[in-house]
Structure 1
Amino acid sequence: MSFNVQQLEMFAAIVSAGSLGRAANLLNVTQPALSRSIKRLEESVGAPLFERHTKGMHLTALGQALMPHAISLQREAEQAREELDAIRGLSKGVIKVGAVGSIASLVLPMAVRCVLDKWPNLRVEIIEGVWDRLVEGLLTHEIDLALCTSGIETDDVAAISDCSWTDRSYVVAAIDHPLRAAGKIQLNDTLGQRWALTPKGTGPYAHVKETFESSGLPMPEISVESRSITVLKSLVARCGFVSWMAEPMYDTESKAGVMDALSIEGLDAPRTLTAFRRRQGILPAPVAKLLDELRHLTGSLQKE
């Protein structure tokens, strides 16, 4: 079964708009023309994609199954047009990448600088988030590359094994936090503190749980959960909370004398960071350029 990209665009527009009339206005086509196009798509599929109601149109089970594939095919076609236009000099190529906070703070900006030094006509779009947000971005084609902790492959998302590196995470607190008065402390001394951390299911949460369990300790009680790095840093720097961060995430605050790692005896918490991509489809050429720079840069970091 072959699909017409224009019909898929119209199909997705109706789903988004909720009715033929609103979708026709968005697409700048007549309602009868849009209706005929969807009818041909339904004939190609062999069954109705919508249930028609007086208040709008709702997807059938078949329509719901087609929707994610329609979005994927539509994005692939857009990507192909962008690359061909970039090759012909008609437009700039686009790099769409997502990263966890520590990578977005150091490694990714360095790689982006190197790419743009070599290919100044490229444009880069970056989102920052924890793993579930990055997976969503990959699957909806919002991004083409995700930089995150390793070991979380799925049926749809694969790790790029030759682009990985290691950093270390620490328990961080404000410079004037009372725990610092004790000098060297033990990991279990942090259990009685107010913790602020990303939610369960995220990389930092899993790393904290693994680190405490390896020391025979329970998971700290989390007082505040947030996916916002800005919120977590503010809670640590201004409100007396402790948190868990990789060094690049708080490097600026450390140099400013606002917050830093606590000196905890025996704490060594390395983690591996890896690039991820969708299993299906071709990696866009501009993104491949960024990936090459990341491989070079992270290889240098590993040697250091």
Structure 2
Amino acid sequence: MRSAITRLQLRHFQLIRTINDLGQLSLAAERLAMTQPAASRALSEVERIVGAPVFLRHPKGMTASPVGEVLVRHAGLLLSGLDQAADELEAFRSGATGVVRVGAVTGASVAFVVPAIRRLKQESGNPEVRVDVAPSVDLMQGLMQGEYDFVLSRVTPGIDATQLQVLRGRPEHMEFLVRAGHPLASGPRPSLKQLSDYTWVVQAPGMPIREAVDRAHLAAGLPPPQDVVNSASLLVVLAFIAESDAISPAAREVADLVRSMRADGVTTFFSHEPITLPPYHLIRMKSRPLSPIAQRLLELVLEGLSA
């Protein structure tokens, strides 16, 4: 099998990834500027080489077989690596010192990624840094597919942790963002029962903050919040709480950022019953080497986490 795999060509991996993305051979052929017969022949070549079906045909399209899932994953890594090499070469040509791609949950991006980028810029001239802020499920999928050099994320279910190097982590503690003058903004910390009378602006069900909120309520013998606006956008949160008595749980690092910006009309408080999220970690793929500039940014982030 090892010798057979080496016979696969770049065009084969491009076709595998595109079919997986679009679910149909005809659409994949169109995107790759191939005729459908040529795409069909190329897929047949792959299946002859690996000795097994790569995609399962259904009336509504195609899905990867177990063998196909392996090839899809490695196609993503291979093609992402080529894209990264092209980005780095272009960065050097333009006078920059390299390209780094990082993903992080919101609190980690504010507390550790941004300060590390500032230090990197001071040390290394003009590196190009891309930072995506997203839920852990998207970050881990992106890391596995080669979209990021490293992430600050939680390891989500279904991820093969044996492929990961999981470094230092941090838990997240929740505060509440409210308008200045909110009835609960002064005095003792309110209980979750008191908070249940207000509209909550919070992440959708299944997201980490929402799960932490629901767990805290259940631990206190209370039903989860009923009057809810689902949003993970800080801009939406700030706009919503500015003109109402709504409340919004946010990671302490985000609350610190809001305070440091001295956002007019916004204040924060803790609830009587603490709300804590499971820790996120600094994570990279074991099998994927980092460029010197990405390695340096990882070291700077790690220094911040270790402080």
> Is the structural similarity TM-score above 0.5?
yes
1:241 is the counterpart of 2:242: no
**Other-structure match for 1:11:** 16
Matches within 5 A, 1:94-105: 94-105=99-110
1:74 is the counterpart of 2:80: no
Paired residue for 1:276, among 244, 267, 283? 283
Q: Residue 6 of structure 1 aligns to which amino acid in structure 2?
A: R
Is the 2:185–2:267 Cα contact (8 Å) retained in structure 1? no
Once the two structures are TM-superposed, the CA of residue 211 in structure 1 deviates from its matched residue by 4.1
Is the 2:167–2:283 Cα contact (8 Å) retained in structure 1? no
**Other-structure match for 1:186:** 190
Matches within 5 A, 1:114-125: 114-120=119-125, 122-125=127-130
**Other-structure match for 2:266:** 259
**Other-structure match for 1:130:** 135
**Other-structure match for 1:108:** 113
Is the 1:177–1:240 Cα contact (8 Å) retained in structure 2? yes
Q: Residue 225 of structure 2 aligns to which amino acid in structure 1?
A: E
Paired residue for 1:172, among 163, 173, 177? 177
**Other-structure match for 2:299:** 292
C-alpha separation in 2, matches of 1:169 and 1:242: 12
Q: Which runs of 5+ in 2 are unaligned?
A: none
* Matched length: 292
Flag the 1:160–1:192 CA change in 2: closer, same or farther, 3 A: farther
C-alpha separation in 2, matches of 1:148 and 1:170: 20
Question: Which range is displaced more, 205-214 or 70-79?
Answer: 205-214
Q: Residue 141 of structure 2 aligns to which amino acid in structure 1?
A: E
TM-score (norm. length: structure 2)? 0.76
Once the two structures are TM-superposed, the CA of residue 67 in structure 1 deviates from its matched residue by 4.3
Deviations 1:82-127 (A, max 9, x none): 5666489568743222212222233211112223333445422222
Q: Residue 105 of structure 1 aligns to which amino acid in structure 2?
A: V
Q: Percent identity?
A: 20
Is the 2:212–2:275 Cα contact (8 Å) retained in structure 1? no
**CA RMSD in angstroms, aligned pairs only:** 3.7
Question: Which range is displaced more, 261-270 or 283-292?
Answer: 261-270
Deviations 1:246-277 (A, max 9, x none): 23313454312322222655758586432234
Secondary structure of 2:147's aligned partner? coil
Is the 1:96–1:144 Cα contact (8 Å) retained in structure 2? yes
Is the 1:130–1:227 Cα contact (8 Å) retained in structure 2? no
Is the 1:100–1:130 Cα contact (8 Å) retained in structure 2? yes
Q: Residue 4 of structure 1 aligns to which amino acid in structure 2?
A: Q
Flag the 1:283–1:174 CA change in 2: closer, same or farther, 3 A: farther
Q: Residue 173 of structure 1 aligns to which amino acid in structure 2?
A: V
Q: Residue 260 of structure 1 aligns to which amino acid in structure 2?
A: T
C-alpha separation in 1, matches of 2:31 and 2:156: 39
Is the 1:106–1:248 Cα contact (8 Å) retained in structure 2? yes
Q: Which runs of 5+ in 1 are unaligned?
A: none
1:225 is the counterpart of 2:235: no
Once the two structures are TM-superposed, the CA of residue 132 in structure 1 deviates from its matched residue by 2.3
Flag the 1:120–1:38 CA change in 2: closer, same or farther, 3 A: farther
Secondary structure of 1:75's aligned partner? helix
C-alpha separation in 1, matches of 2:165 and 2:279: 12
Once the two structures are TM-superposed, the CA of residue 242 in structure 1 deviates from its matched residue by 1.0
C-alpha separation in 1, matches of 2:40 and 2:118: 48
Secondary structure of 1:178's aligned partner? coil
